[in-house]
Structure 1
Amino acid sequence: MSEADNSQPQLVRAVSRWQIVGLSINDVIGSGIYLLPAATVALLGGFSLWGVVLAGVVVALLVACYAQAASYYDAPGGSYLYAREAFGPFIGFQVGWMIWLTRIASAAALANALADALARFWPVLGEGGGRAAVIVGSLGLLTFINVIGVRSAARTGVALVIGKLLPLAVFIFVGLFYVDWSLAFRGEAIALHDPARLGEAALLLLYAYAGFENIPAAAGEYRNPRRDLPFALMTMIVTVTLVYAGVQLVAQGTLAGLAGSATPLADSAATFGGVGMAMLLTFGAVVSILGTNSNTMMMGPRFLYALAHDGYGPSILARVHARFRTPAAAIITQGVIALGLALAPMLIEEPTHNPFVLLALLSMVTRLLSYIGTAAAVLVLERRYGHRAEAMQLPGGRLIPVLALLLCLALFASASWQNILAAAVAFAIGAVIYLFPRRAH
């Protein structure tokens, strides 16, 4: 990352270690956990629980790569910074550009998902003016919270992660007493001869664990990022894997028709806790979606700020607010664009596709590009900075990043050609922007 401009206020280091842990859990446990049990059973059958655990182990390899890379820097940028430092400005720019596009699409999709979730209680919020009010209100509120300070955003994120974990904890704790253990592991055997089905399941599971890559993006606002980021990332992956495994076990063991359920956790909860428990899980889904979007609106602008800080895009996007000491222009820019994308489907009289599903699938391709970039970057950066006393040392040396890189390449190859084509178009647009920087390098 280039040297900061001392003529303007600098980002404030306000976020503590445990706030980073809360933010990282908040960014991963989102809407995916409320869809994961049914879709996973439909794809993996009786192997679903082990698939969830195995996915956690695989993602832990990627998390370890990010933790090691984070131990080398205390500057913002995350995947963008690591790729740029390892492979040069063009690759770094492309990684940062693609991740930022993903953040915009994710924010827009989650705003629509929030309206859908609230419509369960109040149908008027699912369409027309009510839906627009939810989208504008949620994105506007989250944008405002992030503009006035990263400390307020971090506290909001921690509060939301508590709100989303409590319903899941109750679901697991109470549900374990009602699990039918024969039902929990019953189902169609995994189709090892069907690579397309396995690839779809792998991407689904990866989507449920995605989001951890956002946390290093705001490293410049953490108190001790080289020490706290690795701790937070490793604590997060252990916690999330345990929660996901517990949720999957209870859902499989209490709901016979799990694979066909549109609201698997609420339906499962209703079998042993009645309407009240089902409502609690629905409330948890709303808080979970809002919490994930809170982190999206916090971390996404940091990629835009980092890109603009290095000369790509208007200089105003690289400015820090004089009073709040946040990248306010970048935050507002993302909020406005995300709002436009979120409201766009309302202009279509009869939409043929679910925007949340389309954007979620596309986000996995762009995320995989950032994962590939970071895993490969670690192999380069370890040779450069691995001797530092504060640098994190992974067990097995280069084995973990090599395994993570190979797994990500395999997952990328399993994506649909439509999503790969869309990512290629975005990559080409980014290349054009790169050719016309604000200043020479």
Structure 2
Amino acid sequence: MATTIKAEVVHRDAGLVREIGVWSFAATIINVVVGGGIFAAPAALAGSVGAWAPFALLACGIAMGAIVLCCAEAGSRVPSSGGTYAYVEAAFGPAPGFIAGMMLWLSCVLAAGGIAAAFADAIVALYPLGAPGVQRIVLIVAVMALVTAINLRGAREGARFAGIATVVKLVPLLLFIGVGAFWVDPANLKPTGSVGPGSFGAAIILSIFTFSGMETMLSASGEVSRPERTVPRALMLAMGGVLLLYIAIQVVAQGLLGPQLAQSKEPLAQALGVVHPGLVLLIALGAAISRGAWLGSDVLGAPRILFAFARDGFLPAALGRVSERTQVPTAAILTHAILGTALALAGEFDWLVLLSALATAPIYIGACLAAVKLRRDNVQLLGSAFRVPGLRIAATIGVLSMVALIALGQPNEIMGLFAAIGLSAILYVARRSVGRR
């Protein structure tokens, strides 16, 4: 079985260059996880659970930590384009793999549309220039065109841009923590009253969205150097840092604003306004830049899912072609970018990212189960696989937490999720039927 899988991986990744190292890969993961959402999330978390929000983040961090460990082992065993799609396919076959891949790409393209829309809306709010509608369209098209052009030049250029963008977006966040920590009022950090399971569940769902994104970059595993070493190290380095960053941001925001945090539209900007009014613009601009930078990592990782689908015969062959000059899947990158742009022009941030967040649950379930199956089958394609102590425990925590996440969704959201899974299954059957003729 492992020999067959290895042949498929070699075919799928043919023409790509493995040139992304540990630090570059970790930077791209941080960039795609730490999106614009963290600039608004503290208020929403406080609105759900008040000063208990850091504990909601910690609970989410435990669940995500278990999923990270599963992805680390699975990614070291099947380091191929498509990421979690490749893991599930190698473990359970093409049908489950296709469904996981479709949900993964759907989550990515929905998030791309939502973040691009939020980027444009933030810039329009900061610097209105006459006709807001026209300005919004121009900004969405411009930022998507920029990140697409960079990624069309090569995987190394895309990863380098993501690395620079990560540093740029972290500066205002670290400034917020470093400056705001000196002005925290300890009385604002004391939880008051009890929190119902529904409210805590809503906070967990929101937290999952702010932590999600690593699955996007894992889709570029076919261009990672020494993946059996790079994927686990980069994942744990990036996600561990993100957890500490998020908890620190929530604590400082709560400590500065107290009960006012739940009503704030721009919580980080308003919180630093307590320290000095001049810092408000810096944080607001940082939020806008963060959203634009996030798109760079999305356009680096997500198109590789389309590329992997095409190489496996599920999509037109043109999407699986690699440019001889830049060694990237040009058609796949352009297709993803165009669809993301269209969603941004047609939709709004809130509902796009909500759908994206819920769609990640079955992806993570598949990755956790795949990690266990791949170890049992001793699938190990490149070098020595990374072995997670207590993998079954981690997988159980990951699966149960994602099942709980789905259960906490609204009935129409859950129905939409299962409709998307069902549609993916229908598409798979239809494609296989056509392929037999």
TM-score range, shorter chain: over 0.9
Residue aligned with 1:325, SS:
coil
Q: Which residue of 380, 394, 402 maps to 1:400?
A: 394
Distance apart, 1:238 and its partner CA? 1.4
Once the two structures are TM-superposed, the CA of residue 5 in structure 1 deviates from its matched residue by: 5.0
What is the match of residue 108 of structure 1? 113
The code of the aligned residue for 1:54 comes to A
Alpha-carbon offset, residue 15 of structure 1: 1.0
CA drift of 1:276 comes to: 2.2
Question: What is the aligned counterpart of 1:236 among 231, 235, 238?
Answer: 238
1:424 alignment partner, one of 412, 418, 427: 418
Residue 269 of structure 2 corresponds to residue 266 of structure 1: yes
1:216 corresponds to which of 215, 218, 221: 218
Distance 1:190 1:149 in 2: 52
CA apart distance, 1:73: 2.1
- In 2, the alpha carbon distance for the partners of 1:120 and 1:159 equals 25
Partner residue of 1:71? 76
Residue of structure 2 aligned with 1:300, choices 302, 326, 329: 302
Question: 1:206: which partner in 2?
Answer: 208
Q: What amino acid is the match of 1:242?
A: L
Cα pair 1:47 1:189 within 8 Å, conserved? no
Other structure's SS at 2:234 match: helix
Question: Is the 1:45–1:190 contact (alpha carbons within 8 Å) kept by the matching residues of 2?
Answer: no
Q: Deviations along 1:338-383, whole A, 9 cap, x unmatched?
A: 22222224xxxxxxxxx21111111122100100111111121111
Q: Determine which of 319, 335, 338 is the counterpart of 2:337.
A: 335
Distance in 1 (CA, whole Å) between partners of 2:402 and 2:335 is 31
1:41 is matched by which residue type in structure 2? A
| Structure 1 range deviating more: 52-61 or 240-249 | 52-61
Post-superposition offset of 1:9: 6.6
2: CA distance between counterparts of 1:423 and 1:195? 22
Counterparts of 1:3 and 1:87, CA distance in 2? 15
Match of residue 323 from structure 1: 325
Match of 2:252 in 1: 250
Q: What is the rounded CA distance, in whole Å, between the counterparts of 1:176 and 1:57 in structure 2?
A: 25
Work out whether residues 74 and 224 of structure 1, in 8 Å CA contact, stay in contact via their aligned partners in 2. Answer: no
User: Would you say the 8 A contact 1:119–1:125 is kept in 2?
Assistant: no
CA distance in 1, matches of 2:128, 2:95: 47
**Counterpart-to-counterpart distance in 2, 1:403 and 1:223:** 30
- Tell whether the 8 Å contact from 1:125 to 1:131 is kept in structure 2 after alignment: no
Distance 1:125 1:246, change over 3 A: farther
Give the deviation of 1:326 after TM superposition.
Answer: 0.3
- SS of alignment partner, residue 126 of structure 2: coil
Kindly provide the amino acid, as one letter, of the partner of residue 327 in structure 1.
Answer: P
Q: How many residues align?
A: 427
Aligned CA distance change for structure 1 residues 407 and 217 (closer, same or farther; 3 Å): same
Aligned to 1:370: 363
Q: CA RMSD in A?
A: 2.0
Q: 2:184 aligns with which of 174, 179, 185?
A: 179
* Deviates further, 255-264 or 391-400: 391-400
Q: Within 2, Cα distance between the matches of 1:432 and 1:126?
A: 44
List structure 1 runs of 4+ shifted beyond 3 angstroms.
3-6, 386-389, 437-441
Q: Pick closer, same or farther for the CA change 1:323–1:243 going to 2, 3 Å.
A: same
Structure 1 126/308 Cα, relative in aligned 2: closer, same or farther at 3 Å? Answer: farther
Q: What is the alpha-carbon distance in structure 2 between the residues aligned to residue 190 and residue 134 of structure 1?
A: 44
* 1:264–1:320 Cα change, 3 Å: same
CA distance in 1, matches of 2:373, 2:14: 33
Aligned counterpart, 1:350: none
2:312 pairs with 304, 310, 314, which one? 310
Q: Structure 1 residues 126, 225: CA separation in 2 closer, same or farther (over 3 Å shift)?
A: farther
Q: CA deviation at 1:440?
A: 5.2
Question: Match for residue 348 of structure 1?
Answer: none
Equivalent position of 2:385 in the other structure: 391
Q: Which amino acid aligns with 2:408?
A: S
1:13–1:222 contact (8 Å) kept in structure 2: yes
Secondary structure of 1:322 counterpart: coil
- Corresponding residue of 1:155: 160
Task: Report the Cα offset of residue 184 of structure 1.
Answer: 2.0
CA contact (8 A) 2:107 2:356 kept: yes
Return the alpha-carbon distance in structure 2 between the equivalents of residues 69 and 4 of structure 1: 17
Determine if the alignment matches structure 1 residue 26 to structure 2 residue 31.
yes
Give the 5 Å matches for 1:30-179: 30-124=35-129, 127-179=132-184
Matched, 1:380 2:384: no
Taking the aligned partners of 2:194 and 2:224, their CA distance within structure 1 comes to 43
Q: Provide structure 2 residue ranges, at least 5 long, that are not aligned to the other structure.
A: none
CA distance in 2, matches of 1:280, 1:387: 47
**1:189 paired to 2:193:** yes
Assess, with a 3 A threshold, how the Cα gap between structure 1 residues 125 and 51 changes in structure 2: closer, same or farther: farther
Paired AA for residue 38 in structure 1: A
